[in-house]
Amino acid sequence: MFQEKSGFWASLIRPSSRFSVLTLLLVGIVLGLALIAGTHLTFEATSSPEFCSNSCHEMQTPVAEYQQSPHYSNRSGVRAHCADCHIPKQLLPKLETKVKSSAELWGKITGSLDTPEKFAARRLELAQHEWARMKANDSRECRNCHTVDGMSAEKQTPRATAMHALIGEDGRTCIDCHKGIAHHLPDNMPEGD
Ligand code: HEC
Ligand code: HEC
Ligand code: HEC
């Protein structure tokens, strides 16, 4: 038997007699746009170089090392920021990265990385996670700036040119040969990596 329910939930599912469909639709569109804009602004704010470098002291070690690397300072002044390497530009992969890194907030709350010693202990695991991600996407973030096409054989060392002829062979990609380009490698690297 159907019974007329009262209360909050019932008022939510009961068809509206007060507002026209058009009004409800417009309210929905405005709220939807606000949500998209809010998400966009949050993504921008949490991808900025300032946020990545300063929001938590857990990042002190990787930040300091990166600031000594050619990706921070080089003769042309083109700088790769944290987000250029670590956050995809495409919407869906970016969403995935943001959701996964929200889990890091839990680590921050529970203090799992809050001393250099704790960071050193977890570094291999964190690095392996990034290597796996870059291997799986064929070093997509590197290729946003570096193109194989654009590499001049005359300007690269002969060793680099010889090695770069191997890109794509057996699935070989940038990160296979270029680990530790922005940070020091973990002390406890497994053999063969
Ligand atoms: C935002 C653009 C950008 C991104 C993203 C980027 N790079 Fe670079 N990379 C540069 C610039 C600029 C230089 C310095 C060029 C110079 O020396 O003038 C550089 C230099 C290098 C060098 C030579 C210097 C060194 O560290 O030995 C390597 C190797 C390199 N990048 C590999 C990578 C790899 C691998 C990735 C992905 C994990 C990557 N880059 C991502 C812009 C970028
Ligand atoms: C098979 C291994 C291998 C792969 C794959 C590879 N590289 Fe390299 N790359 C090297 C070696 C070796 C050097 C030379 C390093 C040196 O001379 O110190 C080099 C040098 C470079 C340099 C510096 C060039 C110069 O002369 O200053 C850049 C930039 C670079 N690689 C980017 C990339 C990018 C981007 C990719 C992926 C598209 C890539 N490499 C893939 C092995 C590789
Ligand atoms: C040019 C690309 C590049 C830039 C720029 C970059 N990283 Fe990384 N990052 C990597 C790579 C590649 C790894 C995987 C480990 C390795 O090879 O060093 C990594 C690993 C890490 C790790 C895991 C722990 C570790 O040390 O391996 C953290 C945390 C990190 N990066 C944070 C940052 C922060 C914060 C910034 C900006 C201040 C930054 N990265 C800038 C390429 C980059």
> In this predicted structure, what is the pLDDT of residue 192?
67
Contacts of 130 (CB under 8 A, 6+ apart): 86
pLDDT at 165 over 90: yes
Q: Which two tokens stand for residue 16?
A: 């509206």
Query: Mutation test of ligand 2: which of 84, 147, 177 has the most ligand atoms closer than 8 Å to its C-beta?
Result: 177
Q: What is the pLDDT of residues 53-88, one digit of tens each?
A: 887 777 888 999 999 999 999 999 999 999 999 999
Q: Is 146 annotated as a binding residue?
A: yes
Q: What pLDDT, in 10s, does the model give residues 109-161?
A: 777 888 888 888 999 999 999 999 999 999 999 999 999 999 999 999 999 99
The four Cα atoms 106, 112, 115, 116 give a dihedral, to 10 degrees, of -110
CATH topology of domain 24-68+81-177: Multiheme cytochrome fold (1.10.3820)
Q: Which residue has the higher pLDDT, 99 or 173?
A: 173
Q: Choose the residue to mutate in 85, 131, 139 for probing ligand 3, maximizing ligand atoms within 8 Å of C-beta.
A: 85
Ligand 2 touching residue 181 (CB < 6 A): no
Residue with the smallest CA separation from ligand 2 atom 13 is: 160
Q: Which of 125, 99, 100, 93 has its CA nearest to residue 112?
A: 125
Determine if ligand 2 sits within 6 Å of the CB of residue 178.
yes
Q: Name residue, tokens 């998209």.
A: 36
Q: What pLDDT score does 5 carry?
A: 61
Residue 17 pLDDT more than 90? no
